[in-house]
Amino acid sequence: MPDENEDLIRDILQHLDSEVAQGAARMSVEMDESQEEYAKVSHKCCKVYGKDANRIVGDLDAYSDLYLSEMKQKGEL
């Protein structure tokens, strides 16, 4: 069992290093011991400002689209 845990920890650290190399500034890891495929990564638990990360990205896209649209209407772009 210790070898499996060491392998899991090594895999998690490699994944985190990869995410940081791609620009992630903050991450958390949740482990589900009942999950059969231990190496499968789920992004369901990714949270930003207490909300699902995918939703936050969508909201930020919508805000930037709205802002750019307003700037175009004002002739600032």
- Contact (CB, 8 A) for 47 and 21: no
Domain range annotation of the chain: 1-42, 46-77
Residue 67 has pLDDT above 70, yes or no: yes
pLDDT digits (tens, 9 = 90+) for 30-55: 666 776 665 566 656 666 677 777 78
Look at residue 72 in the predicted model and tell me its pLDDT: 92
The pTM for the full model equals: 0.41
Angle at CA of residue 32, ends 29 and 37, nearest 5°: 105
Task: Give the model's pLDDT for residue 77.
Answer: 77
Cα 48 from Cα 27, distance rounded (Å): 9
